[in-house]
Amino acid sequence: MPAVIQLDNITKVYKVGDETIRALDGVNLEVGPNEYVAVMGTSGSGKSTLMTILGCLDRPTAGTYLLDGKLTTRMGSAALARVRNERIGFVFQSFELLPRFTALKNVELPLIYSRSGWWNRRKRAKAALETVGLGPRMRHRPNQLSGGQRQRVAIARALVARPAILLADEPTGNLDSATSDEILGLFDQLHTSGQTIILVTHEADVARHARRVIRMKDGKIRSDLGSQEDAARYGHGTPTTFAQDSTPKA
Ligand SMILES: Nc1ncnc2c1ncn2[C@@H]1O[C@H](COP(=O)(O)OP(=O)(O)O)[C@@H](O)[C@H]1O
Ligand SMILES: [Mg+2]
């Protein structure tokens, strides 16, 4: 199957005063349809920078990025904004909801530039909120919702345009462990229904939900376990080290 994501030799250099920081240093990565990938690594290893590039929130200094077979690194900013809007769903640790808007309005926002009419946008936003179990809270504002509920709104917003990839940077970082489990259960459910997911975490318990685990260090990918290529190479359907079923559930 063709890759959803293909990164070739991606480098991202930040300049701060006289200092140059190679936040990403020659990253090669291929992610296929319906993969669930966890990105791990110590603080400063380049995880968020990688997500920023994958989400087309910023451009690499060098290298190429194909998303759904389209070369994003050659696109102008209008085309790139469109890709970001239609093909990518982003979930952040800090939710990033608009406080004055209801859950429903927050989820409708990514559709504002779509050609569909008002009624259709509303219908899709409601359906996305129902998918994440927040149907009964649609008219609430963020400060009237719990942390877990806010993150569900953010996930609904990320999904409403039916993106090719769902990117999540430490999505459970601000949640207690019971609520984190609920959110991870929701990601599992989305993956089962076909969503391609890339999630950043520094917790092994979180990474265990993914089928493939990438470890970063100093802007480079140091290991990549459980990829589809591995499965093909070793002749079994699921990865070894981080297989979801390898740890018995309590
Ligand atoms: N906007 C930025 N400007 C300058 N340096 C940055 C910026 N973003 C990240 N960095 C640096 O790039 C490196 C990788 O950062 P980051 O991708 O945030 O790591 P992680 O998410 O793994 O903690 C770090 O050294 C960080 O200080
Ligand atoms: Mg980070």
Containing 31, the helix (H) or strand (E) segment is strand 19-31
Which structure tokens are listed for 238?
Answer: 């699921």
Q: Is residue 27 very low, low, confident or very high in pLDDT (cuts 50, 70, 90)?
A: very high
Report which residue type is found at 192. T
Which residues are paired to 89 by β-bridges? 166
Domain locations in the chain as residue ranges: 33-63+76-234
Ligand nearest to the CA of 218: 1
Which structure tokens are listed for 70?
Answer: 């389209």
Ligand 2 centroid to Cα of residue 41, in Å, is: 9
pLDDT tops 50 at residue 247: no
Ligand nearest to the CA of 49: 1
DSSP 217: E
Ligand 2 centroid to Cα of residue 159, in Å, is: 22
Q: Give the C-alpha separation, 32 to 202, whole Å.
A: 23
Out of 13, 14, 53, 92, mutate this one to test ligand 1's pocket (max ligand atoms within 8 Å of CB): namely: 14
Work out whether strand 36-40 and strand 196-200 pair parallel, antiparallel, or are unpaired.
parallel
Ligand 1 centroid to Cα of residue 10, in Å, is: 15
**Given this model, what pLDDT does residue 242 score?**
44
Closest Cα to residue 125, out of 148, 101, 94? 101
Which residues, 6 or more positions from 99, have their beta carbon under 8 angstroms from its beta carbon?
Answer: 141, 142, 143
Ligand 1 centroid to Cα of residue 171, in Å, is: 18
Out of 18, 21, 59, 170, mutate this one to test ligand 1's pocket (max ligand atoms within 8 Å of CB): namely: 21
Region of poorest pLDDT, from 80-89, 177-186, 227-236: 227-236
Region of poorest pLDDT, from 12-26, 40-54, 204-218, 231-245: 231-245
In this prediction, residues 1-7 reach a mean pLDDT of 91
Ligand 2 centroid to Cα of residue 156, in Å, is: 22
Work out whether strand 212-217 and strand 19-31 pair parallel, antiparallel, or are unpaired.
unpaired
Ligand 1 centroid to Cα of residue 46, in Å, is: 6
Query: Residue for token digits 């979801």?
Result: 244
Contacts 24+ apart (CB under 8 A), 218-226: 218/22, 218/25, 218/45, 218/46, 219/12, 219/22, 219/23, 219/24, 219/25, 219/26, 219/27, 219/45, 219/46, 219/49, 220/25, 220/26, 220/27, 220/46, 221/27, 221/28, 221/29, 222/41, 224/29
Superfamily of domain 33-63+76-234: P-loop containing nucleotide triphosphate hydrolases (3.40.50.300)
Closest atom of ligand 1 to CA, residue 43: 23
Ligand 1 centroid to Cα of residue 39, in Å, is: 15
Out of 16, 49, 198, 203, mutate this one to test ligand 1's pocket (max ligand atoms within 8 Å of CB): namely: 49
* Per-residue pLDDT reduced to its tens digit, 188-228: 999 999 999 999 998 999 999 998 999 999 999 999 998 66
Closest Cα to residue 62, out of 27, 93, 107? 27
What's the gap between Cα 9 and its chain centre?
21
Q: What is the signed CA dihedral for 183, 167, 231, 3, rounded to 10 degrees?
A: 150
Closest atom of ligand 1 to CA, residue 49: 17
**Given this model, what pLDDT does residue 229 score?**
59
What does each C-alpha distance from 142 to 3, 97, 109, 135 come to in angstroms? 36, 7, 15, 14
Ligand 1 shell residues, CB under 6 Å: 14, 16, 21, 23, 41, 43-49
